[in-house]
Amino acid sequence: MGGNDSLDNLVRSGGLKAEPPDRRECEGLLHSAIDRLKDAHSSALSFASRFDLAYNAAHALALTALRLQGYRSDRRYLVFQCLVHTLGLGKAQVRLFALCHERRNLAEYEGYMDVDESLLAELIVATDALLVQVQEAMANAG
């Protein structure tokens, strides 16, 4: 669908589904990410809230990038891994999002929140940069 061999291979293996991009869906995801990221910057909120907001903003942006290419995935982790193919992100950035995904799962499913202010700061900076890239991709998508 999107003409990307790596993403097409993930469709064949069942990791992704080919689905035409939906501009309205992408705009909704983008607006959600912007609101969450804005709130994640607020030091008045707790660490857990800020981390959750920044992580979910990053996920919404990664999903938007995937949807713009004509794919969808129900696997949150895979959405981040696909950033290499959807936006050309470097592996170090993808590893940061993967680490945050692991930390989010620990908090969400095991009740363990590792308070790491430097990781939160890195996540927010990386998500700010991701926002710019997704906004550019949206503008180029017409």
Per-residue pLDDT tens digits for 66-124: 999 999 998 999 999 999 999 999 999 999 999 999 999 999 999 898 889 999 999 99
Average pLDDT of the chain is: 94
Rounded CA separation 24/81 (Å): 24
Tell me the two tokens of residue 18: 């080919």
- One DSSP character per residue, 61-116 reads HHHHHHHHTTEE-S-HHHHHHTHHHHT---HHHHHHHHHHHHHHHHHHHH------
Q: Which residue has the tokens 């990038």?
A: 65
Tell me the two tokens of residue 123: 């996540």
Q: Does pLDDT of 1 surpass 70?
A: no
Cβ proximity of 85 and 6 under 8 Å: yes
Q: What is the pTM of this model?
A: 0.94
> Residue 13 CA to chain centroid, in angstroms?
21
Average of per-residue pLDDT across 114-140: 96
